[in-house]
């Protein structure tokens, strides 16, 4: 688990590219995150410049050289290890998780398999390959259940299925965002989010959506969603959940910063849902809420995330100049 690399002067970051946008279904949220981070870094005196990953990213990085990258991309192509692999190849330090941690965290099937192997509770699931699996999902998991793309974030393409007749539509919605689709047992309980920053869990957030569940609209646009930070958990339970969240974060190989989402049932079992390696940084986002409760304002948070670009020593990289 990475610890903090304290950087005292803005000049020590050099020229910073804030990578945002891209072409995933989460492009609009990424642009919101990137613009907020860009403004925060500039307020702190960092030589920061926005860069839209929807353009020819490799060519742009070579045309406009930078010393490090604040990665504000969400979704496939930016959060799944692809952009991280390019940055590694070019020898450019970047924030957050590396190629492996990004890829594993973004793949819900494999991350949940790793959670279970590490002894962490996670909702039981099966992979749906088509209509032939619908009856099996209902038989093995029961109803209601969640149907979701295995390789998306922000609850994109997620449906709650309460009746067998709803399965075809839920599957059709999920498969729009990739061939890998999961059916997951619906766990009744409160949803929590554990922000992780430089080796520690910040105060957790309890999420109370007005809708059936915490979907894309509830996450980014609804003013009806209620957030509780402090979470209301007693100190012992929050410590126990924080320990499990850090284990989930580590088991997928994440580093630097991120967020671990989980459900807590009425028996006190914490079910790990996913690790988010590039959480949103919008006015509805959870990591800034947890940071604020710890006394870290938004500008300081953006700075501290930028510090994570020093997590890999320069000797471990080969800087390319052509």
Residues 178, 149: contact at Cβ < 8 Å? yes
Is 220 one of the catalytic residues? yes
Residues 261, 273: contact at Cβ < 8 Å? yes
Residues 75, 24: contact at Cβ < 8 Å? yes
d(CA 263, CA 194): 11
For the chain, what's the residue count? 322
- Please state, in angstroms and as integers, the Cα–Cα distance from residue 12 to each residue in 6, 38, 66, 138, 289, following that order: 11, 17, 13, 56, 27
Beta-strand runs (E) in 80-199: 125-128, 145-149, 159-161, 181-185, 190-197
Is 276 one of the catalytic residues? yes
Instruction: From the candidates 274, 290, 307, 311, give the one annotated as an active-site residue.
Output: 274
d(CA 35, CA 74): 13
Q: Can you read off the two tokens belonging to residue 112?
A: 């949940």
HSE at residue 240, side-chain half, CA atoms within 13 A, is: 11
Instruction: From the candidates 171, 214, 216, 220, give the one annotated as an active-site residue.
Output: 220
Instruction: From the candidates 21, 96, 256, 280, give the one annotated as an active-site residue.
Output: 280
d(CA 283, CA 267): 33
Could you count the other beta carbons within 10 Å of the beta carbon of residue 106? Answer: 27
Q: Coil, helix or strand for 111?
A: helix
Instruction: From the candidates 2, 111, 154, 231, give the one annotated as an active-site residue.
Output: 154
Is 292 one of the catalytic residues? no
Is 280 one of the catalytic residues? yes
Please measure the distance between the N-terminal and C-terminal CA atoms of the chain and give it in whole angstroms: 33
Instruction: From the candidates 80, 191, 261, 311, give the one annotated as an active-site residue.
Output: 261
Is 26 one of the catalytic residues? yes
d(CA 301, CA 65): 25
Instruction: From the candidates 276, 290, 307, 309, give the one annotated as an active-site residue.
Output: 276
CB proximity list for 63: less than 8 A, separation 6 or greater: none
Q: Can the peptide bond before residue 202 be classed as cis, meaning omega within 30 degrees of 0? A: no
Instruction: From the candidates 27, 68, 255, 259, give the one annotated as an active-site residue.
Output: 259
Q: Can you read off the two tokens belonging to residue 96?
A: 């957050």
Write out the catalytic residue numbers.
26, 154, 220, 259, 261, 274, 276, 280
């Amino acid at each position: 688990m990475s610890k903090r690399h304290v950087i005292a002067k803005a000049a020590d970051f050099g020229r910073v590219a804030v990578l945002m946008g891209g072409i995933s279904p989460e492009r609009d949220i990424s642009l919101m995150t990137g613009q907020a981070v860009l403004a925060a870094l500039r307020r702190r005196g960092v030589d920061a410049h926005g860069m839209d990953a929807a353009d020819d990213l490799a060519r742009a990085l070579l045309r406009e050289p930078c010393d490090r990258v604040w990665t504000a991309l969400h979704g496939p192509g930016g959060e799944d290890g692809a952009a991280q692999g390019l940055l590694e190849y070019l020898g450019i330090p970047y924030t957050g998780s590396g190629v492996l941690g990004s890829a594993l965290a973004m793949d819900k099937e494999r991350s949940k398999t790793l959670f279970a192997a590490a002894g962490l509770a996670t909702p039981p699931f099966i992979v749906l390959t088509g209509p032939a699996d619908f009856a099996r999902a209902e038989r093995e998991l029961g109803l209601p259940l969640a149907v979701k793309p295995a390789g998306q974030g922000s609850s994109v393409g997620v449906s709650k299925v309460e009746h067998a007749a709803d399965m075809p539509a839920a599957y059709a919605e999920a498969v729009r965002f990739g061939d890998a689709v999961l059916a997951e047992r619906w766990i009744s309980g409160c949803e929590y989010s554990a922000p992780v920053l430089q080796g520690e869990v910040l105060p957790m957030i309890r999420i109370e959506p007005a809708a059936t569940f915490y979907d894309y609209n509830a996450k980014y646009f609804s003013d009806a969603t209620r957030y509780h930070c402090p979470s209301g958990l007693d100190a012992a339970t929050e410590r126990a959940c924080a320990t499990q969240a850090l284990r989930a974060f580590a088991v997928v190989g994440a580093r630097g910063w991120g967020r671990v989402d989980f459900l807590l049932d009425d028996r006190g079992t914490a079910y790990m849902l996913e690790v988010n390696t590039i959480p949103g940084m919008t006015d509805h986002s959870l990591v800034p809420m947890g940071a604020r409760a710890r006394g870290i304002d938004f500008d300081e948070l953006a700075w501290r995330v930028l510090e994570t670009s020093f997590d890999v020593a320069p000797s471990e990289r080969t800087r390319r100049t052509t």
